[in-house]
Amino acid sequence: MSILIKDLEPKKVFEIFDEILKIPRPSGNEKNIASFIVNYAKNIGCSAYTDENGNVIIDAPATEGKENCSLVILQGHMDMVCVQTDSGTHDFTKDPINAYVDGDFIRAKDTTLGADNGIAIAMVLALLQDRNVEHGPLRAIFTVEEETTMKGATTLSEEALKGDYLINLDSEDNGYLFVSCAGSMDVSIKYAVERIKTENTKALRIELSDLSGGHSGADIHKGHANAIKVLSSVLDNLSDDYDIFLKDIQGGLFRNSIPTKAHVEIEVSNDEYDAFVCSLNECIDAQKKLYKNTDPKMNFTVCDAENGMVLGLAQSLDFIHFLRALPDGMTRMSPVYENIVETSVNTGIIKSTNECISISMLPRSLSKIGLDAIIANIRAVCCLTDNADMECSNEHLPWESPSDNKLIRVLDECYHSVTGKNFKITALHAGVECAQFVKKNKKLQLISLGPTILNPHSVMERMDIKGVLEIYSTVTSALKKLQ
């Protein structure tokens, strides 16, 4: 008999999480989950409302005898990254997540699970109604669009953040307290193209799918293949021996997910076609061998396509070289935090139209200097051609808080009581909303923690069940001690 999610421990947490899985919540479409949270909070005796930007703010009174304690803010976000298998038909605006217990983990069938950050919502709502938890005044904040624009965090009022402590529940490594996170910048490139009609050519389509993908921050150091960059490597290698006319290239869904699929349509000379296909298969075999350990399901499909308007030979080659030259992946490890990536960049999306090819990239760094440096590297590649127009937007600066304060000491003491272990204080090579909050309340002591979630932002996302109990128990114990 299979184990139901709602029967796991802590039971109330997983009962709520099971309900959350039924509510679609892609970024920008958080109204239904916000309504669920507000109604739930009011039904358990808390005051709750949605601000003008869609954020949910809940206030819970202190338990008896704790009225004069410091205000603690518990925080997470409502939206999730919506990724599914290449053959999936899931509608993230309507369909519930089909989740199940798989040994020690919870995962979803053919989609992202949304434990990032649905588990924060579940833990906080369970805690607010748990009459056995002693605490001072509590505020819960759930934000919108964390996975895309960080709109919720950037627009949150200073008044909402007037507290002494903030516990962000959006990190994904049990056993770690995060006091620093990477900053980021959205980089958009438009590569202008002109199209021609060829003669005596044959068109073909190369599809790449079933890569491992993953979070462009948490998984960027794992060496997973990036579908866009793999295709650029294949085309670049073939361009040494064959004339290639680029017709279409598409790939990736989100700037903060490592692309799992992409396709390209090209035309080659009729006279060279057979030899080209033979060489293409050799290149495909080489890529499969290169990524056999990280992307064992890598799948290439080659089929005929229709001839059409294409980039001229010179421009096709220039763009192929340009795409391959763009930096991607981890570029530097942190000299401060052991085994943590300092700087990286993800080539997240590519789309071609009649007039241009658009590329979306997401550079990250734990340091402002590192972020500026990787952006400068991208700009330098763009400057090598007159066709590329680069724009930067949506900057989020790195966050770093003290590695020792009362909040950290209390949480560490409680975690040791629960698990027999101490937290490791470190940094996170991803963006959490703490970076926005600390700007609005410089006296706020804040950290980020959470249960282990493996491979977020991918269909392999799965959450460790035991870790939920450990983090929940740690936070509830800490609230009693925070004065």
Task: Give the N- to C-terminal CA distance of the chain in Å, as an integer.
Answer: 46
Last residue of a domain, one of 376, 396, 416: 396
Q: Are residues 129 and 54 in the same domain?
A: yes
> How far are the Cα atoms of 69, 175, 177 from residue 406, in angstroms, in the given order?
14, 18, 13
* Mean pLDDT, range 408-418, rounded to an integer: 98
* Mean pLDDT, range 412-430, rounded to an integer: 97
Q: Are residues 384 and 413 in the same domain?
A: no
Q: What's the pLDDT score for residue 1?
A: 58
Q: What's the pLDDT score for residue 473?
A: 98
* Residue pLDDT, tens place only, 4-41: 999 999 999 999 999 999 999 999 999 999 999 999 99
CATH number at residue 300: 3.30.70.360
Which of the following is catalytic: 146, 318, 328, 464?
Answer: 146
* Residue pLDDT, tens place only, 345-356: 999 999 999 999
User: Which single residue is written with the structure tokens 């294949």?
Assistant: 234
Backbone angles phi, psi at 441, to 5 degrees: -150, 90
Q: Are residues 347 and 405 in the same domain?
A: no
Does 409 have pLDDT greater than 80? Answer: yes
Cα(411)–Cα(113) distance, integer angstroms: 27
Question: What single letter denotes the amino acid at residue 399?
Answer: W
Q: Are residues 219 and 306 in the same domain?
A: yes
Q: Are residues 307 and 335 in the same domain?
A: yes
Backbone angles phi, psi at 453, to 5 degrees: -125, 115
Is residue 146 part of the annotated active site? The answer reads: yes
Q: Are residues 49 and 191 in the same domain?
A: no
The number of distinct structural domains making up the chain is: 2
Q: Are residues 127 and 35 in the same domain?
A: yes
H or E element: which one contains 314?
helix 313-325
CATH number at residue 101: 3.40.630.10
Does 483 have pLDDT greater than 80? Answer: no
Q: Are residues 95 and 51 in the same domain?
A: yes
Does 178 have pLDDT greater than 80? Answer: yes
Q: What's the pLDDT score for residue 154?
A: 94
Does 470 have pLDDT greater than 70? Answer: yes
Instruction: Report pTM.
Output: 0.89
Is residue 464 part of the annotated active site? The answer reads: no
Last residue of a domain, one of 396, 429, 450: 396
* Mean pLDDT, range 247-261, rounded to an integer: 95
* Residue pLDDT, tens place only, 207-234: 999 999 999 999 999 999 999 999 999 9
Does 196 have pLDDT greater than 70? Answer: yes
Does 320 have pLDDT greater than 80? Answer: yes
Instruction: Give the bridge partners for 343, in sequence order.
Output: 332, 365
332: tokens are 């530097």
Mark out the alpha helices in 86-182 (DSSP H runs). 115-129, 151-155
| Percent with pLDDT over 70 in the chain | 100
Q: Are residues 387 and 406 in the same domain?
A: no
Q: Are residues 410 and 392 in the same domain?
A: no
Write the burial class of residue 380 (CB in 10 Å: 0-12 exposed, 13-18 middle, 19+ buried).
exposed
For 93, the domain range is 5-182+398-481
222: tokens are 């794992």
| Percent with pLDDT over 90 in the chain | 96
Last residue of a domain, one of 346, 374, 396: 396
E-assigned strands of 312-415?
329-333, 341-352, 356-365, 388-396, 399-400
Which of the following is catalytic: 18, 30, 79, 173?
Answer: 79
Residue whose C-alpha is closest to residue 331's, from 228, 182, 449: 182
B/e letters for 107-138, b = 16+ CB within 10 Å, e = fewer, are bbeebbbbbbbbbbbbbbbbbbbbeebbbbbb
Q: Are residues 338 and 416 in the same domain?
A: no
Say if CB 76 and CB 22 are below 8 A apart: no
Contacts of 28 (CB under 8 A, 6+ apart): 79, 144, 145, 148
Say if CB 474 and CB 415 are below 8 A apart: yes
* Residue pLDDT, tens place only, 50-92: 999 999 999 999 999 999 999 999 999 999 999 999 888 999 9
Mean pLDDT across the chain, nearest whole number? 96
Q: Are residues 250 and 389 in the same domain?
A: yes
In angstroms, how far is CA 381 from the centroid of its own chain? Answer: 26
Q: What's the pLDDT score for residue 2?
A: 82
Does 365 have pLDDT greater than 80? Answer: yes
